[in-house]
Chains A and B, each alone.
Chain A
Amino acid sequence: MTSAASTASAATPRLTFQAGSRQHRMFQLAGWACFVIPMLVLPYVLPSFRVAQLAQAVGWGIAILGMNMVIGWSGLISLGHIAFTGLGAYTTTILINESRFDMWMTLPVAFVVCFLFGALVGLPALKIRGLYLALITLALALTFPILIKIEGGGIARRTGGDNGRTIKEGLKPTGWMRSLLGISGKDASSQVAIYKYFCMLIIAGICFLLVRNIMKSSPGRGMLAIRDNQIGAAVSGVPLNKHKVLTFALSAAFAGIGGSMIASSLGAIGPTLVGPEYATLTLMGLVLCGVATLHGCWLGGLAVVFLQDLAPRWIKAVPGVDIDPIFAGALFGLILVLVPFFMPRGIVQFARWLKARFVRVIPQIPRASVV
């Protein structure tokens, strides 16, 4: 059977590679370099508040990674994952402040806590489907900020209620770290910013690899099967209940890690960061950048942080329009409305489609073994 030549698109691709060949690998490496090099270099050339924003974006990216697991790969519409992000963030904050945990030690705790709560939320999800699930998870997103502020049982005292809390001991680089990263003694804040950024990157990288492996393994494929055809998956032997609960649990855990990282990079946490506004923002970031793609998550994180930052300025810049920048919410709403029409699978898929028009990789034809 001839290769994909018969189903080629109208434009002839300019570059053709044989999979696994030297050229192909060089091409892939070049692609990676385009992303990796800026990631490593930018913190040194940007002012420190931008670096802090980048760090935050990575944190939101991890949170969106969690959301993607449940919405993108499993097809279960959960509008409430922001609650898990918040749970992770508050867990980290409270542990550091009250129990003198080290920031790194709070991560596994946050993971487990969010995993358990995610499993708990996943249980109703077994019986509730589709839009009903969206409705009930929306309720979760709206309830979480209220629960944070409950004054009984010492909850509000620990969470700081309406005002939130700052983290006493954030991420701080130790001596040998400084020399490793090449940051010199003078500028304290930018050092810390750069350190934090690389910490985020490491955690993000670990999460990325973890999720990628999960998706390639049996639970991951089970999720995809559930998304595409629940009943078909069930009769094919996918244990629906176990998988759905597992999916919620894992996605909540990763969202929680994201929350922990956001809290530690910001140095503080408050109820607005875990409420409906950010639920909408993360949803927007997710669908704009790429549902069910790994790379879309990071882009989504960038979107959450930077669109929020830039939107008020864009609104102000529109001539003749005298609207208070508070109405950035309309811009995000507009994006949500337009995405299903113009880029239903997000920017990443669009980029892939674009790439496919110019680059074609011919798969290796498996050799028949000679017996």
Chain B
Amino acid sequence: MTRFAPHISERDLDMASRPKWLNGSTVLYAAMAVVLLILLGPIFRGGSQLFLQRVFDSLNNGAVYAVTAISLVLIFKATTLINFAQGNIAMFGAYVCYQLSVKMGWPVWPSIFVAMIVMAIVGAAIERTLIRPFGPADHLPVVLITFGLASILLALAGAIWGLEFLAFPSPFPAKPGDRFTIGGAFFRYETVGTLLVLAVMLVVLFAILGRTKMGLAFRAVSSNVESARLVGVHTGRTLQFGWALAAALSVLGACLVAKQTNLEPSFMAKLTIFAFAAAVLGGLDSIGGSVIGAFIVAVVQSLVTGYGQQVAGFGWLKSNFALVVAFALILVVLLFKPEGLYGTKRIERV
């Protein structure tokens, strides 16, 4: 069953009576523009320095959301499944890294890599034992299993390392003075580092997907799983590879953010939701799209959270602003353009 086929989809029929320009993308962009317009007043009042600061802060978040979002996208691309346990897999990896670096004295980056490898193996095992027995159309079992897995990992982490907040070592120089000053605002080294990691990761990922045989197989399975079998691709192993890669990447994301939010078993919950919002906005099967989506989400969050309180009527959402922004985004996208800004339209053959 191909997804990109010159067929009439029910969306096309749906939209036959609507004016051409009123499609999902324009609605999304219009919504974002409206939000920005509302905030224009407070932005001007705050001054350019504050604005720049907000933007710089959001770049850090954006990069972290992007790394986590990509792991969600990888699994969705290959299997059209949403992995509700991704966040807690990442969390567990962060704890493994903590164990290696804080408890056993290893330097930070090797700890992160080893944690990535460990969780990659776990991810592959999960695919093999828990996910493969069920067909891709069978949604309820997968929801239940990934949900249950998330709970189990949470409890396991709490059992092994306890529930208190733990301090996580920083992968980048992060003392208060470690920053550039641009236009009066602070651009932390940490942000630079995170952006660099994202860039390197993207390069490596596109190299793997574009140049290696396994990457080709992965793209084949994502595109047309039956044809992939017909060219001799072992789809099971390829999917395992996808899950392993996704697990490793999500661990990287968790380790990048753990310093900033302190380590405790549910610390990835919010980040996972933001990553979902980023992936949904950018397109659940588009890696590049989810990166763009991640930065949009981060910037919008930063601006709304930073300035929104000064706009009448927003004050009551105080503490969970960022979360509400993410939810609103997910809802709006799924309503108007479920394939996101850059995803492929899902066409169902009757």
Given contacts A139-B327, A146-B323, contact A79 B143 (CB under 8 A): yes
- Using a CB-CB cutoff of 8 Å, which residues 90-148 of chain B contact chain A? 130, 133-134, 139-145, 147-148
Q: Nearest chain-B residue to A126 (Cβ)?
A: B335
A332 touches B139 (CB 8 A): no
Question: In this assembly, does A267 line the interface, its C-beta being within 8 Å of a C-beta of chain B?
Answer: no
- CB-CB under 8 A from A291, the residues of chain B are 140
Give the residues from 305 to 356 in chain A that come closer than 8 angstroms, CB to CB, to chain B.
323-324, 326-327, 329-330, 332-341, 344
CB-CB contacts below 8 Å: A92-147 with B: 124, 127-128, 130-132, 134-136, 138-139, 142-143, 146
Which residues does chain A contribute within 8 Å of B82, judged by CB atoms? Answer: 131-132, 134-135
Do A344 and B139 touch (CB < 8 A)? no
Q: With contacts A130-B139, A336-B147, A337-B148 known, is A151 near B316, CB below 8 A?
A: yes
A287 CB within 8 Å of chain B = yes
Asked if B155 is an interface residue, CB under 8 A from chain A, the answer is yes
A335 to B151 Cα, complex, angstroms:
10
Q: Which residue of B lies closest to A151 (CB)?
A: B316
Q: Output the residue of A71, A136, A139, A338 with the most chain B CB within 10 A.
A: A139
B271 within 8 A of A: no
Chain A residue with Cβ nearest B326: A139
Asked if A128 and B155 make an inter-chain contact with CB atoms under 8 angstroms apart, the answer reads no
Main DSSP-derived SS at the A contact region? helix
Inter-subunit contact B144/A287 (CB<8 Å): yes
Interface of B is mostly: helix
A residues 254-268 touching B (CB-CB < 8 Å): none
Partner of A330, one of B141, B152, B320, B323: B152
| Chain B nearest CB, measured from A159 CB (Å) | 13
Interface-central residue, B159, B280, B323, by most chain A CB under 10 Å: B159
Q: Give every chain B residue within 8 A of A247 (Cβ-Cβ).
A: none
Which residues of chain B come closer than 8 Å to A136, judged between CB atoms?
330-331, 334
Task: Evaluate contact between A333 and B350: CB separation under 8 angstroms.
Answer: no
A139 contacts B331, CB within 8 Å? yes
B-contact 0/1 string along A276-296, CB 8 Å cutoff: 000010010001000100000
Q: Does B281 contact A (CB under 8 A)?
A: no
User: Is B140's CB under 8 angstroms from A327's CB?
Assistant: no
Contact of B159 among A138, A143, A327, A333 (CB under 8 A): A327
User: B151 near A329 (CB under 8 angstroms)?
Assistant: yes
CA distance A324 to B164 in the complex (A): 13
A285: shortest Cβ distance to chain B, in Å?
12
Contact between chains at A127 and B338 (CB < 8 Å): yes
Report yes or no: B158 in contact with A333, Cβ–Cβ below 8 A.
no
Shortest distance from the beta carbon of A189 to any chain B beta carbon, whole Å = 35
Q: How far is the CA of A340 from the CA of B141 in the complex (A)?
A: 6
Nearest B residue (CB) for A131: B82
| Number of chain A residues close to chain B: CB under 8 A | 43
Q: A146-B324, A337-B130 are in contact. Are A134 and B139 (CB under 8 A)?
A: yes
B143 touches A142 (CB 8 A): no
- Say yes or no for A19: interface residue by CB 8 A criterion: no
In the assembled complex, the CB of B86 is this many whole angstroms from the nearest CB of chain A, namely: 12
Q: Is A132 in contact with B334, judged by CB distance below 8 angstroms?
A: yes
Cα distance A344–B135 in the bound complex, in angstroms: 14
- Chain A, 128-180, CB within 8 A of any chain B CB: 128, 130-132, 134-136, 138-139, 142-143, 146, 150-153
Contact A334 B152 (CB under 8 A): yes
Closest chain B CB from A141 CB (angstroms): 11
Q: A77 with B140: in contact, given A132-B338, A135-B276 (CB under 8 Å)? A: yes
Residues of A within 8 A of B154 (CB): 329-330, 333
Minimal Cβ-Cβ distance residue in B for A337 = B148
A329 contacts B338, C-beta separation under 8 Å: no
Is B149 positioned at the interface, with any CB of A under 8 Å from its CB? yes
- A135 to chain B minimum Cβ distance, whole angstroms, is 6
Give A110 Cβ to nearest chain B Cβ, in Å: 25
Which residue of A is nearest B82, CB measured? A131
- Does any Cβ of B come within 8 Å of A26's Cβ? no
Q: Are B81 and A131 in contact (CB under 8 A)?
A: yes
Judge whether B294 is part of the interface by a CB distance below 8 angstroms. no
Report if A337-B159 is in contact (Cβ < 8 Å); known contacts: A136-B330, A283-B144: no
* A128 B144 Cβ-Cβ under 8 A: no
Q: B184 to nearest A CB, angstroms?
A: 34
Give the nearest-CB partner of A139 in chain B.
B327
Given known contacts A150-B317, A333-B155, A340-B144, A142 and B150 CB-to-CB distance under 8 angstroms: no
Chain B CB within 8 A of A231 CB: yes
The interface residues of chain A lying within 8 Å CB-to-CB of B350 are 231
CB within 8 A of A135: which of B80, B149, B330?
Answer: B330
Interface centre among A79, A130, A323, A344 (most CB of B within 10 A): A130
Can you list 30 A-B pairs with a CB-CB distance of less than 8 A?
A77-B139, A77-B143, A124-B334, A130-B139, A131-B81, A131-B82, A132-B82, A134-B82, A135-B276, A135-B280, A136-B330, A136-B331, A139-B330, A143-B323, A151-B318, A231-B348, A231-B350, A287-B144, A326-B158, A327-B155, A329-B151, A330-B154, A330-B159, A333-B147, A333-B150, A333-B152, A333-B155, A336-B144, A340-B144, A340-B145
Q: Supply 4 further A-B pairs (C-beta < 8 A) apart from A131-B82, A283-B147.
A: A77-B139, A135-B280, A333-B148, A340-B141
